[in-house]
Amino acid sequence: MSHRVLFVCTGNVCRSPMAMALFNARARRAGEDHLYHARSTGTWALDDTPASAHAITALATRGIDLTAHRGQTITRALLDQAAVVIVMTRSHRDALVSEFPAARAKIYLMSELVDRVYDIADPYGGTLAEYEDCATSLENLIETGYEKIKSWIHKPAR
């Protein structure tokens, strides 16, 4: 059985697809991609929108291909299928809890991976350097917090 991690941002073209791809690459390196798999979605996404060009480039430099990604808006089904939901900002968390209160216990901020509370800045419309910075931040959080994500999946509801 594969445990699904759902990463959430706003448009599902920058932060959450990068986090999804970085997490899946990390699970592959650990030989655990049969156990853990990430998807991504957005609170205001337009379905079938490709990842932004800079997001694709930022991950390509890390050997990760994001060209097949297509955005999708959040649905109850996506939330229900996820063992853990990881959001980029407090406003994403608040919006999801407001719309889907039953999911509250499995929603975490990305920054909680390092026991902090802060928002991951949206690089949308920014320079390639801003996307690279965002990708580096996400990569570091996932590398540092990979075991914590697994513990969130396997712990009782909070």
Q: Indicate which residues carry an active-site annotation.
A: 9, 15, 122
Q: How far is residue 71's CA from residue 87's CA, in Å, rounded to a whole number? A: 15
Residue where the block lists tokens 């649905």: 75
Q: How far is residue 17's CA from residue 108's CA, in Å, rounded to a whole number? A: 17
Report which of 71, 65, 74 is spatially closest to residue 22, judged by C-alpha positions: 65
Determine phi and psi for 70, rounding to 5 degrees.
-135, 130
Q: How far is residue 92's CA from residue 112's CA, in Å, rounded to a whole number? A: 14
The CA distances from residue 121 to 14, 16, 68, 80, 124, in Å, are: 10, 12, 24, 27, 9
Q: How far is residue 99's CA from residue 114's CA, in Å, rounded to a whole number? A: 27
Residue where the block lists tokens 């513990």: 151
